[in-house]
Chain A
Amino acid sequence: MALTTARMKFYIDAKRCIECGGCEVACKNENNVPQGIARIRVVTVNEGQPGETNIAVPCMHCSKAPCVAVCPVDALYHRPDGIVHVNKETCIGCGYCLYACPFGAPQFPKGHAFGARGVMDKCTYCAGGPEEPFSEKERKFYGSNRIAEGKLPMCASICSTKALVAGDAEEVAKVVRARMAARGPGGSAWGWETAYPPGRF
C-alpha cells in the first residue's frame, strides 16, 4: 500500500439531509451489499415532532475506534489512511464490536454456522478490503474499491445536498468551517466529537 498522510473522515451535516435514501441505495448497488445489511442508514430523529431531523449513519472510521480495541481476533484494524477495515476471514462473528460501536455500524447477516450470526459486515469507505485491490475476492467479500481508483465513497459522491461529505480530514474540515461560519451556532457536525475526539491520534 502506498504511503499516505491522509486521514479519511466523514462529515454528516444534520441540517442538509433530506432523507432521500440515495446514499443507502448507492451503497447497496456499488458494493453488492448482502441481503439484510445496510452499511449506511438514514435515521430520523424526533420523528413527527418539531425539529425532526434526518442523519445518514455510516461507519465513521473513528480515530481511536472502540471496535478495534475490543475485537478479540484483531479482525478490525486501521489502515494507514485512517480507514477502519474488517478482515472477514479472521472475524469470528462474536458481536462484541456491535456493542462497542457508538454508531451501530457493525452488521451481522444471518444464516451461517449454528444459525446464530455470520461474520461482521460494515461500511468499507468504498475502500475494498485486505485482499488484492480489484481482485475477484475483494469484490465478492467487501465490494468496490473506489479509494484505490482515486475516487470518494459512493454515498458521499451521490449525496444531492452534500449532507454527507467524505475525504481527507483537512479538506472535510474546510467544508465544516465554511458551513459553520455561514450558519453560526448549531453547525450540526453530527457524531464528530465521538468519532474524532481531540487528542486521540
Chain B
Amino acid sequence: MPPTMQFEPIILASHKWSATPHVPLYLFFGGLTAGLLIVAALAEIAGWKFPRFDPLARVAVYLAIPCAGLGGFFISAHLGKPERGILFPFFFTNYSSWMTWGGWILGSVSLIAIAYGALWYFRAGKGPRTVLALLGLIMAPLLAMYTGWLLSGFGTIHGFTPLWSHKYLPVMFLNSGVTTGIACAGLGLLVARYMSLRWPWVGVSLPSQELSNVLRWTTVVLAGAILFEAYELYSFLTHLAKGSPEKGGPYIYHILTKGDLAPWFWWGFVVPGLAIPLILGLVGIFAQARKPIPALAGAYFSLALIGGLVLRFLIVTGGDMVKQPLPFPPWAAVYGIGAEGGPGAKK
C-alpha cells in the first residue's frame, strides 16, 4: 500500500453510499429494468416471425414495471429529502450533473414500461406494442449505462475513485443489466407458466416443445452475455492492477481479489454469478433440446440474478473503500501554486 493511501480518514463511513443498501439496490433494479425492457423489445420483434416469443415479451415488461418502481423507491429513500427527488422535473436544474439526466432517463423508461405493459394488459395490437418496444430498446441501454455514468461521472472531473472507472463501468453495467434482465425474464416465464397450469387466467400456456425452444434461446443469449461480462471483468481488473499506485488502482484490485472484499468477489459474484451459470448454461443448451428442465433453468437464471446483485454491492462498497488521495507531501507546491496571485499564476 502506498503511504499516501493512508490519507483517507476525512470521510465518515456513515456518510458513504455503501453505509445503507439503497444505492446498490437502486443500481441493481435500474439495470434490471433496462435489461427486462431490452429482452421484452427483442422478444416482441422476434414474435413477429416466431409467436412463441410473445409470452416472454409479456412477462418481461410486466416484471420491468415493479423493478422500475423499486429502483425509484430505493434512490428516493436514500435522499435526505425524498420528496424533492420524486419531483425531480421541478427541482433538478443542473444539467451538468448525471443525477439530473438520470432522473429523466429513469422517469422516461418507467413511463415507457407502464405504457407498454398497459398495451399488453388491454390486449392491444402487435403494431403499437412494437413501437413502444422499439422506444424502450433505445432508452433502456441509456438507463443501464447511466448507472455507470452516475458513479464514474466523477471521472470526468478528477477521477478520484479508481473502481468507478468511466471507461469500464458503463459498459459493464449495461452488460450486467442485460444479463440480469434475461435471467429475470426467463425465471418469470418459468414461474408464469407453472402458475398458468393452476390458474389459467395467468395466460402463459406455452406447449412444452415451444417453452423448450424459448428457454434454449434464452440460455444461449444469457451464456453469451455472461461470457462477455467475464471478459469485461478480466479487462477491468487488469486495468486496475496495472494502474498507477498513486491513483489507487492496484490497491482496490488487491482489496477485491485478495483483501476484505475477496470472499464476496469470488464466492458472491465470480463463482455463483459467472462460473456456475456458464456451466449450467452450456449443459442447458444441450439438455433442453427436446424438453424443458425447469429446475436447471431456474437455478441458472437465479444464480445469474444473484451475481448481478452482488456486483452492484461490490462496486459501491469497493468505490467507497479507496479514494484517490491528494498528493502528499505537496512537493508540487514548490514549483508553482498556480492560484490567482500565487507564484504560478498566469498573469
Contacts and interface: CB of A to CB of B under 8 A. Distances in A.
Interface residues of A, number: 69
Given A43-B10, A103-B10, A71 B97 contact: yes
B328 A45 contact: yes
Contacts of B15: 95, 98, 106-108, 117
Contacts, number: 202
B177 to A, nearest CB: 21
Given A114-B77, A117-B78, A57 B338 contact: no
A91 B340 contact: no
Interface in A85-127: 90-96, 98-100, 102-104, 106-108, 110, 112-114, 116-120
A107 B11 CA distance: 8
Contacts of A196: 337-340, 342
Contacts of A169: 339-342
B10 A41 contact: yes
Contacts of A80: none
B295 interface: no
B22 A192 contact: no
Contacts of A108: 14-15, 80
Contact of A119 (B6, B81, B326, B341): B81
- List 6 A-B pairs, minimum CB-CB distance, nearest first: A93-B80, A196-B339, A198-B338, A104-B10, A72-B99, A189-B333
16 contacts: A63-B339, A70-B97, A73-B92, A98-B15, A103-B10, A108-B14, A108-B80, A110-B14, A113-B82, A172-B341, A173-B340, A173-B341, A173-B345, A194-B326, A196-B339, A198-B344
Interface of A: 7, 9, 14, 36, 41, 43, 45-47, 49, 51, 53, 57, 63, 66, 69-74, 90-96, 98-100, 102-104, 106-108, 110, 112-114, 116-120, 169-170, 172-173, 176-177, 180, 185-199, 201
